[in-house]
Amino acid sequence: MNDQAIEKSTDIQPRRRGFQPGRSGNPSGKPRGTKSKSTQLIERLVTGNPADVKQIIDVVVRAAKAGEPWAAQEILKRIWPVPRSRLVKFPFPELATIEDVRRAMDAVTSAVSNGILTIEEAAGLADIISKHAAPVLEASEVTQRLEILEAERKERGL
């Protein structure tokens, strides 16, 4: 009997704890595509009675015409959205060498110190420069290594 009990206990697989492969860590979260409460409210307002929406718009337009800044601001936000950032025209040198990368970063730093670029704009440009600089730096390292190997080869007389 004891042998049978031992055999049965080895047949049972231990229960896995923690995260299961292919399963969300938060299975009780909202399903994909669920709309927020404010979106649901707006949809009910718009689809409920179009006359109500028209009345609300009329009230806001009248308030804007009467000089209410909040109403004018709300209307302008809908018809003329605020741009997230301005268009920056900045002359970049060709980024072919490490020296070109250094000059480009110096130019960006100088533009910030002269008030031509904001810090955020300069950070964006520096990010672009660094992304373009990575292959330039890698190629430069390979070139330096090759020059060292060729010099060593010449010293050996090969």
| Over residues 113-131, mean pLDDT | 90
Prediction pTM value: 0.41
Q: Tell the burial category of 53 from Cβ atoms under 10 Å away from its Cβ (0-12, 13-18, 19+).
A: middle
Confidence of residue 147 (pLDDT cuts 50, 70, 90): confident
Evaluate whether 98 touches 135 at the Cβ level (below 8 Å): no
Q: What percent of the chain has pLDDT over 70?
A: 80
| Over residues 61-89, mean pLDDT | 85
The pLDDT assigned to 123 comes to 92
| Over residues 1-26, mean pLDDT | 60
Q: Identify the CA nearest to 88 among candidates 124, 36, 114.
A: 124
**Mean pLDDT rounded to a whole number for the chain:** 80
Confidence of residue 48 (pLDDT cuts 50, 70, 90): confident
| Cα separation, 55 vs 45, whole angstroms | 12
Identity at 21, one-letter amino acid code:
P
Tens of pLDDT, residues 92-106: 778 877 888 889 999
DSSP for residue 134: H
Does residue 113 surpass a pLDDT of 80? yes
**Four-point Cα dihedral 125, 127, 128, 130, nearest 10:** 120
Does residue 75 surpass a pLDDT of 80? yes
**Hey, CA dihedral for 32, 38, 42, 44, is it positive or negative?**
positive
Domain boundaries along the sequence of the chain: 37-79, 98-156
SS3 readout for 78-131: HHCCCCCCCCCCCCCCCCCCHHHHHHHHHHHHHHHHCCCCCHHHHHHHHHHHHH
**Four-point Cα dihedral 67, 69, 73, 75, nearest 10:** -30
Q: What are the structure tokens assigned to 148, written together?
A: 């060292």
Q: How many CA atoms lie within 13 A of 22 on its CB side?
A: 0
